[in-house]
């Protein structure tokens, strides 16, 4: 279980002042920590791209305080969007919609769509609600890490990577404890007629289909660009391999004297001949695996290994989000 400290209203008020001045604040969400900036402030948003080393055509998600913000950021909103927002907001679901003129191209990567999400983490919700105001201001908040690397699921990951000024790149880190889910939000495209799935997450395809009453296929090549869809993403610096439970002991043996870090079930770890530089017993349950995934990848990456071996998780539909992140980390 994750422990979320009580919301510190003094820190929230300080973060609002930083954001209104065009600064950058790392904030916790229920998925991963985000690098927040005022979505209406072009220079502030562009500074998040610079801090992360993120390509300028890679769109950002606007984090908003509630369902009433949708009409302030999007137009031609289909009934499915309202249905999903009422069901899953606040929560780990991002809706991609046709953008209003208010939403700058610096947010959308030059596209005519905007991604919207209302996070449920109490610190994020408090910050966005305090910042929103009568015009329903929002915060862009890509994961608070160097682009393409492992996402941060606690404040320590950000301090180690981007850091705080003057030595680092950020103005402030809000420490709201470890993230509840540990994997980025599900993303559904509602801008091109029939809804399609852009990114797997905690809100599964089955849940979306049950809510909407029809099939939700994966998005095709003509879908809007979206966060987390590059072939290589969420990647440790150490080369990572996904190996089946049956093949992992032999693959470990093939590495010989080379230092290897391993994450696998207890049964597989017990079959290894030799000692990894780090052995992590993978959680057997889906929620625990997802919650701890990025923390475990950070630990494996810091172990001083030449190679990381990860046991391939179950290939059932409910594990799609975990398998998506691991597949990109290994690409």
For residue 25, what is the enclosing H or E element?
Answer: strand 25-27
185 annotated binding-site participant? yes
Asked if 38 and 130 count as a contact pair (C-beta separation under 8 A), the reply is no
* 54 annotated to bind ligand: yes
63 annotated ligand binder: yes
Residue 303 in tokens: 């172990």
141 is in an annotated binding site: yes
Q: Which residues of 302-311 are buried (b: 16+ CB within 10 A; e: fewer)?
A: ebebebbbbb
Structure tokens at 310: 């990860």
Cβ 305 vs Cβ 260: under 8 Å: yes
Establish whether 143 is an annotated binding residue: yes
Q: Helix H segments across 175-319? A: 205-212, 248-254, 266-270, 286-301
Q: Which residues pair with 25 in a beta bridge?
A: 36, 172
Residue partners of 216: CB distance under 8 A and separation at least 6: 188, 195, 196, 197, 205, 208, 209
**Is 234 part of any known ligand binding site?**
yes
31 is in an annotated binding site: yes
Please give the Cα distance from 303 to 261 (Å, whole number). Answer: 7
Give the position of tokens 């880190």: 173
151 marked as binding residue: yes
Query: Cα separations (Å) of 328 from 21, 110, 127, 234?
Result: 36, 25, 31, 7
Contact 204, 183 (CB under 8 A): no
- Is 199 annotated to bind ligand? yes
Q: Which residues make up each annotated binding site? A: 31, 54, 63, 113, 117, 141, 143, 151, 185, 199, 234
Binding positions for L-threonine are 31, 117, 141, 185
Indicate the annotated binding residues for ATP: 54, 63, 113, 143, 151, 199, 234
């Amino acid at each position: 279980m994750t422990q979320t400290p009580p919301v510190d209203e003094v820190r929230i008020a300080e973060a609002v002042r930083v954001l209104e001045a065009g600064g950058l604040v790392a904030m916790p969400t229920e998925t991963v920590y985000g690098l927040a900036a005022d979505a209406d402030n072009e220079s502030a948003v562009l500074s998040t791209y610079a801090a992360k080393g993120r390509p300028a055509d890679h769109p950002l998600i606007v984090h908003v305080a509630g369902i009433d913000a949708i009409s302030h950021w999007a137009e031609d909103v289909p009934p499915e969007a309202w249905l999903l927002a009422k069901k899953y907001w606040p929560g780990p679901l991002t809706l991609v919609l046709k953008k209003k003129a208010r939403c700058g191209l610096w947010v959308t990567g030059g596209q005519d769509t905007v991604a919207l999400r209302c996070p449920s983490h109490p610190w994020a919700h408090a910050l966005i609600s305090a910042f929103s105001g009568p015009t329903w201001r929002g915060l862009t908040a890509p994961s608070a890490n160097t682009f393409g690397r492992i996402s941060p699921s606690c404040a320590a990951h950000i301090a180690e990577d981007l850091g705080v000024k003057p030595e680092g790149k950020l103005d402030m880190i809000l420490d709201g404890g470890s993230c509840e889910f540990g994997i980025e939000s599900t993303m559904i495209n509602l801008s091109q007629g029939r809804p399609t799935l852009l990114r797997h997450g905690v809100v599964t395809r089955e849940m979306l289909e049950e809510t909407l009453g029809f099939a939700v296929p994966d998005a095709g090549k003509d879908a809007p660009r979206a966060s987390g869809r590059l072939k290589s993403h969420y990647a440790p610096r150490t080369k990572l391999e996904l190996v089946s439970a049956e093949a992992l002991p032999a693959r470990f043996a093939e590495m010989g004297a080379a230092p290897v870090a391993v994450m696998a079930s207890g049964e597989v770890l017990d079959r290894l001949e030799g000692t990894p530089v780090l052995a992590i017993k993978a959680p057997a349950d889906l929620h625990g695996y997802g919650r701890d995934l990025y923390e475990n990848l950070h630990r494996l990456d810091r172990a001083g290994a030449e190679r990381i071996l990860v046991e391939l998780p179950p290939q059932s539909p409910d594990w799609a989000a975990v398998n998506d992140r691991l597949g990109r980390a290994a690409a």
